[in-house]
Amino acid sequence: MVARLALVTLLLSGCRQQPAQAKPPAQESTPAVQTPTAPPHPFAPASVEVIAKAPLFALPPSPELSPAGEKLVLDQETGGQRVYNRSPYPEWPEGQSGITVGIGYDCSTNSAAVIRGDWSMLGAANASRLAATHPYAGQRAKAHLRDVRDILVSWSNATQVFDTVDVARAFRQCQHAFPGFDDLRPNCQAALVSLVFNRGASMIGDGRREMRAIRDNGVPSRNYEYIAAEFRAMIRIWVGTSIYDDMRDRRRAEAALVLTP
């Protein structure tokens, strides 16, 4: 019994004599093994911060006219930068157009809200004044020209609206009006954009029969000779009018562009 007690006392004494183990420094601790995580799901929502910074709508880039096509439209609409008219001007072919600003921008064919947005770089007051002319065309528009004649539009502002607004709208109109438009070569696309920019995309009435023929027979088969011939045939519409020479020259230029590879 005495031997047993002595043994227990010896064991307890040895335990008390062992110093307590110090904790390893934090920097020397072994990092926990992390289980690999799967990549984020492609449709997983972005973080709140990303959503807050991202635009609500991402607009597609504006389409571009071919260089020859852009030159044709700019020359036909303004005569080029050297003869560009910085003031709003009357452009009423046979009494149908409204007050025109920049590069062939017809205020009568755009809503007031659209005009204010397109020309916001001129300042809210000037953009609103232009928007107020929206309801007027022909001789009625002529009476309101004095209300906006003092507004000056620089060439850089005019080309900005032309490149980012007018061309994009005309492209969309052509895509709807001429199924297969996207498959045409760039110069033919530019010729149709010039046509729609000048006349609109309506297909109704005898004055639009050549456009219907282009839509139904020329574009689907990419028959460039046929399309060019219909451009030239369209000249009949303006025979005997005060704008015959201008329309004849423009349609011929567009037909030549159609045939340019």
Query: What are the tens digits of pLDDT across the range 20-55?
Result: 444 444 444 444 445 444 444 443 434 333 333 434
Within-domain flag for 136:
yes
pLDDT (0 to 100) of residue 46 = 40
Q: What are the φ/ψ torsions at residue 251 (nearest 5 degrees)?
A: -65, -35
Residue 219 has pLDDT above 70, yes or no: yes
Query: What are the tens digits of pLDDT across the range 67-104?
Result: 999 999 999 988 766 678 899 887 654 557 889 999 98
Q: Determine the Cα–Cα distance for residues 218 and 229; give it in Å rounded to an integer.
A: 10
The SS3 assignment for 189 reads helix
93 and 72, same domain (yes or no):
no
Within-domain flag for 66:
yes
Domain end residue (candidates: 138, 153, 168): 153
Within-domain flag for 132:
yes
149 and 168, same domain (yes or no):
no
Within-domain flag for 20:
no
Residue 133 has pLDDT above 50, yes or no: yes
Q: What is the CATH number of the domain that holds 194?
A: 1.10.530.40
138 and 200, same domain (yes or no):
no
Residue 178 has pLDDT above 60, yes or no: yes
Radius of gyration of the chain (CA): 36
pLDDT (0 to 100) of residue 140 = 87
Within-domain flag for 73:
yes
Residue 19 has pLDDT above 50, yes or no: no
Cβ–Cβ < 8 Å for 181, 189: yes
pLDDT (0 to 100) of residue 92 = 54
Query: What are the tens digits of pLDDT across the range 141-167?
Result: 888 999 999 999 999 999 999 999 999
pLDDT (0 to 100) of residue 28 = 44
pLDDT (0 to 100) of residue 15 = 45
58-62, 72-76, 222-226: range with lowest mean pLDDT: 58-62
Within-domain flag for 235:
yes
* Number of domains, the chain: 2
Mean pLDDT, the chain, rounded, equals 81
175 and 231, same domain (yes or no):
yes
Q: Domain limits at 117? A: 87-153
Domain end residue (candidates: 153, 173, 200): 153
94 and 140, same domain (yes or no):
yes
pLDDT (0 to 100) of residue 55 = 42
Q: For residue 20, give the amino acid letter.
A: A
- Band (pLDDT 50/70/90 cuts) for residue 2 is very low
173 and 223, same domain (yes or no):
yes
Within-domain flag for 34:
no
197 and 115, same domain (yes or no):
no
Residue 172 has pLDDT above 60, yes or no: yes
Domain end residue (candidates: 153, 184, 199): 153
The SS3 assignment for 80 reads coil
For the ranges 60-64, 97-101, 201-205, the maximum mean pLDDT occurs at 201-205
pLDDT (0 to 100) of residue 82 = 67
Tokens, residue 41: 């799901």
Q: Determine the Cα–Cα distance for residues 49 and 40; give it in Å rounded to an integer.
A: 17
Within-domain flag for 182:
yes
67 and 172, same domain (yes or no):
yes
68 and 179, same domain (yes or no):
yes
163 and 236, same domain (yes or no):
yes
